[in-house]
Structures are given as structure tokens and as C-alpha cells.
């Protein structure tokens, strides 16, 4: 990873909320970094766009929003159009690091995440996007078997502190306004992971749709059956204490 302490990071996401769900913890725990977020859709959705900028202020980031199609049908978009939309929103300054979706998406399934990832990687390979490094979000949902989870076997995996996770959860539920039983609220990951690529040659292959293999749950019940000393520590289900596996 670039060695500068206060590096500049450009986050490129498909929807207002993706920045919080997949990288909010990283943003909150690296306040010295210069963060800029570009979001490719929902500029004409006034409420959601407004909320996006409120979230960015909370996260200490600047940003821009575009208006790519985000209809529920998820009609495939031409790669050229996605690339153009990204280039239009780029800030003037070149970032040290770009962070975006993974070509396999973060869950099963949103085509925009996958299309956007492919377009960013293509632009980086062509040199139209310049950065010292590129990271992609690393999450999987076991083909819909569970809510998206950070992939353990990545070069960057961090279990969030409860304080940081609560801030993410606040942004999703109170600022974006997703209900507590919504997919977004239930998904809000407690750990974050990224795949890190130091140069375009190392970036993930775009052919096909790679899938992470499913893995056992992140937490396991404590066999002793003790009650959690922190009560609602964020990792507990029911009365039995649950210990993170990491």
C-alpha cells in the first residue's frame, strides 16, 4: 500500500450507501486520508443524493454523484457508457489509491457493481485512470446463503470496533433512513476486507465472474455458554456469548 500517511483515496461506487457499507469503517478509521467519493447513480433522486452528501460530510469526504440507470430491471449497460460516466465525475487531482467494487460484486447480485468494477479496472489498465494502487471490496454472501461477509483470506481484513460499526449503522439507518429490518441494515458488515493490487497487471481478470467459495460463519458460539460481558457487543446472537474467529 502507498506509504504516505495522509494519502488521497478515491472511492468509486455504484450507489449512495455502497461507500458506507463496504468501506465506511476504513474511512472512519483513516481520518487523515483525503477522501473523495464518486457515486455513479441517483443524482436525480433528490432525497437519496442529499443524504449521500450528508454522509460524506460525516465521513470527512468530498464527492460527486452521477445519474446512470439504476432501474430495478438492471438492464445491462454498455461498458463505454459506464467508463464515460466515471471519467465525467473524476476530480482533477490524481489519487494515490482507488477503491471500488469487485468484478464479482459484493453479493448475489447487483449488475451495476460488477459493471462498474470492470469499467474502473479497464480504465486503470488503459491509463485513463491513474493511481498508485487499486483495491476492490472483498465480500461474499455464499450465493445468497447469508448477508454479505468480508472475505477472510485477503491482504486487508479488519474486524471493526463496535464504536466504528455503530457509526456505520447510524449512517445506514438514521441518515440514509433504511429500516432496521432492511437488507442494508442487516448487511452492514462488522468486518471489512479489500483485495489490493499494486499495478494494473495484477488487477483481477475480467473474464467470467469469479466467485469466492463460501466459508463457515465468522462467529462461533462459546461452548461454555457464559453470557457476554459486554452484553450487546455487536457479535452476539441470543444469550450465549459469541467469539469472533479472528
Q: Which residues bind Zn ion (CB under 5 A)?
A: 14-15, 18
Give 18 or 115: the residue with its C-beta nearer to Zn ion.
18
Residue nearest to Zn ion (CB): 15
Smallest gap from residue 16 Cβ to Zn ion (A): 9
Nearest residue (CB) to Zn ion, 15 versus 168: 15
18 or 140: whose CB is closer to Zn ion?
18
Q: Which is nearer to Zn ion, 139 or 197 (CB)?
A: 139
Give least dist CB 14 to Zn ion, A: 4
Shortest reach from residue 105's CB to Zn ion, in Å: 9
- Euclidean distance between the first and final Cα of the chain, in Å? 22
Alpha-carbon gap, residue 162 to 29, rounded angstroms:
12
Helix (H/G/I), strand (E/B), else coil: 44: coil
Query: Given the complex with Zn ion, which of 10 and 242 has the nearer CB atom?
Result: 10
What is the phi/psi pair of residue 63, to 5°? -175, 180
Between 9 and 21, name the residue whose CB sits nearer to Zn ion. Answer: 21
Quote the least distance from Cβ 121 to Zn ion, whole Å. 17
In sequence order, which residues have a C-beta less than 8 Å from that of residue 242 and are 6 or more positions away?
A: 219, 220, 221, 222, 228, 235, 236
Q: How far is the CB of 70 from Zn ion (least distance, A)?
A: 9
Q: What is the bridge-based pairing of β-strands 133-137 and 191-197?
A: antiparallel
Given 3-state DSSP classes, what are the helix, strand and coil percentages for the chain, each rounded to the nearest 5? 30, 20, 50
Q: Concatenate the DSSP letters of all residues of 148-192 into one string.
A: -EE-SSSSEEEEPPHHHHHHHHHIIIIIS---TTSHHHHH--SEE
Please work out, in degrees rounded to the nearest 5, the angle formed at the alpha carbon of residue 155 by the alpha carbons of 213 and 172: 75
Name the minimum Å distance from CB 229 to Zn ion: 36
Amino acid at each position: 500500500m502507498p506509504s504516505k500517511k495522509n494519502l488521497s483515496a478515491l472511492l468509486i461506487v455504484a450507489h449512495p450507501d455502497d461507500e458506507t457499507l463496504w468501506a465506511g469503517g476504513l474511512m472512519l478509521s483513516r481520518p487523515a486520508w483525503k477522501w473523495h467519493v464518486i457515486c455513479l447513480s441517483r443524482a436525480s433522486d433528490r432525497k437519496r443524493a442529499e443524504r449521500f452528501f450528508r454522509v460524506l460530510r460525516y465521513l470527512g469526504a468530498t464527492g460527486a454523484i452521477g445519474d446512470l440507470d439504476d432501474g430495478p430491471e438492471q438492464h445491462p449497460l454498455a461498458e463505454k457508457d459506464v467508463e464515460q460516466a466515471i471519467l465525467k465525475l473524476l476530480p482533477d487531482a490524481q489519487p494515490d489509491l482507488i477503491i471500488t467494487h469487485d468484478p464479482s460484486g459484493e453479493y448475489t447480485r447487483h449488475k451495476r457493481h460488477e459493471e462498474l468494477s470492470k469499467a474502473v479496472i479497464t480504465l486503470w489498465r488503459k491509463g485513463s485512470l491513474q493511481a498508485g494502487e487499486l483495491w476492490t471490496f472483498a465480500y461474499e454472501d455464499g450465493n445468497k446463503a447469508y448477508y454479505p461477509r468480508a472475505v477472510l483470506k485477503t491482504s486487508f481484513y479488519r474486524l471493526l470496533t463496535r464504536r466504528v460499526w455503530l457509526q456505520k449503522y447510524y449512517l445506514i439507518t438514521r441518515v440514509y433512513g433504511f429500516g432496521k429490518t432492511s437488507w442494508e441494515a442487516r448487511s452492514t458488515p462488522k468486518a471489512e476486507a479489500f483485495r489490493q493490487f499494486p499495478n494494473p497487471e495484477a488487477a483481477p481478470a475480467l473474464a467470467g465472474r469469479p466467485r469466492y467459495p463460501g466459508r463457515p460463519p465468522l462467529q462461533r458460539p462459546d461452548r461454555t455458554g457464559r453470557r457476554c460481558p459486554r452484553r450487546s457487543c455487536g457479535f452476539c446472537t441470543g444469550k450465549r456469548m459469541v467469539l469472533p474467529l479472528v
